[in-house]
Amino acid sequence: MTELPSLSVLGIDVGGANIKYALIPGDTSCIEGKRDTPRHVIAHSTVFPMWKDHERLADQLIADFSLLPMKQVAACGVTMTGELADCFFDRREGVVQIVHDVSVACQKSELPDPLYYGVDGAFRTSLQCVGNESLTAASNWHGLANYIAATDFSDGLLLDIGSTTTDLIPIRKGCVATNAITDFDRLSEGSLVYLGGERTSIAMMVESLLIGGKCCPVMREHFATMKDVRVILGLVSESVDDCDTADGKPCTMQHCMNRLARILGLGFHDLAERQAVDLAKQVHDAARLKIEKAFNRITERYGASEQLMISGHSDDLVPILGQQPKRYLREVIGVQGARNAPAVAIAGLLQKRIAEERCAAGSPLDGSNRKGSFQ
């Protein structure tokens, strides 16, 4: 694998369903003003259902670290949303456990002691996270917005649609504009919508569907998800290896149609493909409408944005949102970088901080003094 120069920084995003990693190559110059786009980013993600496997988190991290070129990593930055998983009694317990497991994994892998990003924009050591769990929790959205705000995207709206949630984050004058930092506050103001392109249950999207001239209420069971909808519509590819589905069966057209039919009390053999496509389109339209309504709420609260930055991996759920010019994060940091955007962002923010502190102190920029250097 490609060798990276010194001062390379690792970003880790510990989510509820996936762990994402990004390595940004080193920079030996002071970073002032607007951030340059990384020359190249090594990004990786691992499916990790926290609610099932939280006791294996440290082991999974160690295994994933072995797949990346870690010898020249000067610092590790971490953000998280996995503390929300219901395997933890509450958010505080989740933060404490994740901080412990990440710190243990880094120590065993001979990596620098990790620094944890908070929604106040600060990095903290594991000890400093004690008593600051509310700032450490659910911080990846803020890190991504903060990273983007420091580029030439200084006034606009970040629309990030992931597998589970959608974030709508106003950016003004190069700063994150919202004062809502907790999930409760963000849900209340509409900047967080619990709707994504993969894991969201269809029964949460619609009350009923039209089929054969009849309006049929849906069964409120976790029978099918937005991933099934998007496969049926041809927006994402089928995969016989992907069994991260509602029933644990492959993500193929046949199984996706069968899962969709089930929410109406039907089965695969009861639906023609054209009917399945029509049902999927109804669900897809409903999801886009929910995002559009959230966009309108944010626009009313913070004013119209000059432009939109589209992030995540469910671009097809972006509704028609006026005449604002749209930019796509994948065009800035590449497809893999955009897929793992919060990890890229945390690595980028930490790298900038390190370079600024070293320049100010007149310290060497050669990646020496790695352990605990930036705490």
CA distance 64 to 20: 10
Residues contacting residue 298 through CB under 8 Å, at least 6 positions apart: 157, 168, 170, 189, 190, 191
- Residue reference for tokens 């029933």: 247
Q: Which sequence spans correspond to the domains of the chain?
A: 8-194+308-361, 202-289
Task: Please give the pLDDT value at position 270.
Answer: 95
User: In angstroms, what is the C-alpha Rg of the chain?
Assistant: 21
Please give the pLDDT value at position 375. 32
HEC string of 165-177?
A: CEEEEEEECCEEC
**Residues lower than pLDDT 50 in the chain:** 1-5, 28-37, 365-375
Give residue 119's pLDDT: 96
Q: Which of 218, 245, 241 is nearest to 230 (CA)?
A: 245
Amino acid in position 163: S
Yes or no: say if 370 and 29 are a contact pair by the CB < 8 Å rule: no
**In the prediction, which pLDDT does 38 show?**
52
Q: Does the fold of domain 202-289 match that of domain 8-194+308-361? A: yes
pLDDT at residue 31, rounded to an integer? 40
| Residues facing 239 on adjacent strands | 251
The Cα–Cα gap between 20 and 352 comes to 20
Length of the chain: 375
Structural contact between residues 310 and 159, judged by C-beta atoms closer than 8 angstroms? yes
For the domain spanning 8-194+308-361, the CATH number is 3.30.420.40
CATH of 202-289, one of 3.30.70.580, 3.40.50.360, 3.40.50.150, 3.30.420.190: 3.30.420.190
What's the whole-model pTM score? 0.87
What pLDDT is attached to residue 365?
A: 45
